[in-house]
Amino acid sequence: MHNKVDPLPVRSDPSTQPMARHHSASYIVHRVKESLTTRVSKLICAICLSLLLCLGIITFILWISLRPHRPRFHIRGFSVSGLDQPEGFETSHISFKVTAHNPNQNVGVYYDSMEGSVYFKGKRVGSTKLTHPFYQGPKNTSLIEGAIHGPTMAVNKDRWMEMERDKNQGKVEFRLEVVSLIRFKVYTWHSKSHRMYANCYIEVGRDGMLLSGTKDKRCPVYFS
């Protein structure tokens, strides 16, 4: 008679069994809080970035619309009387007209002082004060006239002969320099004073009148 042997129990490999994950209630609450904090932080960052972007766009638009542009000067007229006479320097005088245009949309310009000087071959022929202080509104144009004669003229016989030689070749070149102290006005704000220079390059014919090639020509403007 054979004794019955009970089979050994089969042990399963724990690595082949799915692991059940059991988390405590405190762990779940911590994860939920962490997720909410992350979402709130992202929302706050998105709102801040949007506000900064809007502020940057508004600032850029204001800068473009209010950024002061330089006044624009054009030569409208220029004449030298007596240029057709050998001794004309004794009674000659120079007269000129320029326009000053404010191209700004929302910026005004104060001209606190203005002076015009005429140069021939780098040497000053004469100078004179121009206009009284005035204010120029946006998109406005002002006509400025000046005359140099008598004691304000610095032309001797030798310089006049130089002009005569150039005239006989067909034209005489001058440079009109307009110097002014200006300030910009934006609503109630006023800028500091700037010294502005406008250089108008001019050609006159044998009769001393402005040649058509330089009439209405724009004068370069710069500040110091």
- Which helix (H) or strand (E) segment holds residue 45: the answer is helix 25-66
Question: What is the structure's pLDDT at 216?
Answer: 94
The mean per-residue pLDDT over the stretch 16-45 comes to 65
pLDDT higher than 60, residue 1: no
Between CA 173 and CA 64 the distance in angstroms is 38
Q: What is the separation of C-alpha 61 from the centre of its chain, rounded to a whole number of angstroms?
A: 15
Both structure tokens of 22: 């059991």
Please check whether residue 194 is in contact with residue 107, taking contact to mean a CB–CB distance below 8 angstroms.
Answer: no
Please check whether residue 162 is in contact with residue 120, taking contact to mean a CB–CB distance below 8 angstroms.
Answer: yes
Q: What is the pTM of this model?
A: 0.71
pLDDT higher than 50, residue 19: no
Do strands 108-120 and 172-186 pair parallel, antiparallel, or not at all (unpaired)? Answer: antiparallel
Spell out where the chain has E strands: 72-80, 93-101, 108-120, 123-129, 134-136, 141-149, 172-186, 189-190, 194-204, 218-219, 221-223
The full set of domain ranges for the chain reads 24-66, 72-223
Question: Which option is the CATH number for 72-223: 2.40.50, 1.20.1050, 1.20.1530, 2.60.40?
Answer: 2.60.40
Band of pLDDT at residue 31, cut at 50, 70 and 90? low
Average pLDDT score over the chain: 84
Whether the CA torsion 56, 59, 64, 70 is positive or negative: it is: negative
For 96-149, what is each residue's pLDDT tens digit?
999 999 999 889 999 999 999 999 999 999 999 998 999 999 999 999 999 998
Between CA 115 and CA 40 the distance in angstroms is 65
The mean per-residue pLDDT over the stretch 39-44 comes to 79
The mean per-residue pLDDT over the stretch 148-171 comes to 86
Band of pLDDT at residue 219, cut at 50, 70 and 90? very high
